[in-house]
Amino acid sequence: MSYLCPIDLSLLGSHLADGDYRFDVYRGDLEHAQAPGNKWHKLQHHLSAAAQQNADAIATFGGPFSNHLHAFAKTLKNRPFEAVAVVRGELHPQLTPTLQDMVDDGVNLWPSSRSDYRLGTSSDVADAINLYYRNVYWIPEGGGGILGARGCLDWAEKIRRLAGDYDAWVVSAGTGTTAAGLLSYDKTPDLHVFSALKGAQAQRQHIIEQAHLLTNKRVSQKYLAEKLFFHANCHEGGYAKHSQTLVRFMHEFAKDNPSCFLDPVYTCKSMFAVISAMKAGTWPYRRTLFIHTGGLQGWRGFSSDRNPFVLS
């Protein structure tokens, strides 16, 4: 199976000659059948740290459709830890498909109020979990932290080995942890990062600082900053929101690229932004690699008539 998939750029119209752009997707969504995408990579060093701590349980946080929680459940299945998840908001008797999968995989769900949830490991629910399970290793929301980023540094090495040379990489961002890991790898080319969040401008500096730590400060922050292109204005209305133009784009993309599904929160927006820049003639690279971060299970949080990638 190849992890590389060329994108059909007929969306760009006929004014572009074939071969002006080479645009491939690294199909992270096809890795690790049970836990595809970036979240598996973000978990690996956290699991080692939990083992080192002799943890009885590993706990983490997420919303009821969270890709992180889903990957957490699949990755911890058949491992010698209790798996515990603090879920944002109350639990309804009819669980979301994501949470149902987690229960089926043996995860203990702990509901929390939104206000308590915001307190993270200082919340009342976290206190209760620490008492109940004794030695608990906590993974930040989204699988973040420096250990999460380190897993994505490993991922960058793998991607480079499998995909070869490109002039630029593209990746989507939520917490920016994945972007930091990719940026810290010395053979990563120009890295374009598209945030799915509204008002994420300040995240750019955080990505640079985290990447800097991962390089053991062997390279300057200035060097990393020159490699990083952070786009905060492609959220199309906000997290998990879809503008009309984005909906139209997704339908066209699905028609032209029937074997490459995009997720509803992250990759659809990054792909839209890059292809729009190519269309406008402002994308300055000839060979671009789009790193697919997975997340397709997230479509289960949308009514199925909104998903242009369902198999017809």
**Which residues are marked as active site?**
66
E strand residue ranges, the chain: 4-6, 22-26, 57-62, 82-88, 108-112, 136-138, 168-173, 190-195, 228-231, 287-291
82 versus 298: smaller Cβ distance to ligand PLP? 298
111 or 301: whose CB is closer to ligand PLP?
301
Q: How far is the CB of 132 from ligand PLP (least distance, A)?
A: 28
Q: Judged by CB, which is closer to ligand PLP: 96, or 177?
A: 177
| Shortest separation between residue 95's beta carbon and ligand PLP, angstroms | 20
Q: Which residue is nearest to ligand PLP (CB)?
A: 295
Q: Which residues bind ligand PLP (CB under 6 A)?
A: 37-39, 67-68, 142, 172-179, 263, 266-267, 293-295
Tokens of 234: 């492609």
Write down the least CB distance from residue 241 to ligand PLP, Å: 16
Residue 198 Cβ vs ligand PLP, minimum distance, rounded to whole Å: 15
First to last CA, the chain: 23
- CB crowding 66-76: b at 16 or more within 10 Å, else e: bbbbbbbbbbb
In a 13 Å sphere around the CA of 298, the CA atoms on its Cβ side amount to 26
Is residue 227 within a helix (H) or strand (E), and if so which, with residue range?
helix 221-227
| Unique residue bearing structure tokens 């028609």 | 255
DSSP designation for 54: T
Quick check: helix, strand or coil at residue 265?
A: coil
Helix orientation angle between 67-76 and 97-104, rounded to the nearest 10 degrees = 10
* Shorter beta-carbon distance to ligand PLP: residue 286 or 306: 306
Least Å distance, CB 211 to ligand PLP, is 12
* Sign of the alpha-carbon torsion through 294, 172, 83, 135: positive
Q: With respect to ligand PLP, which residue has the nearer C-beta, 151 or 275? A: 151
* CA 287/CA 207 separation, integer angstroms: 24
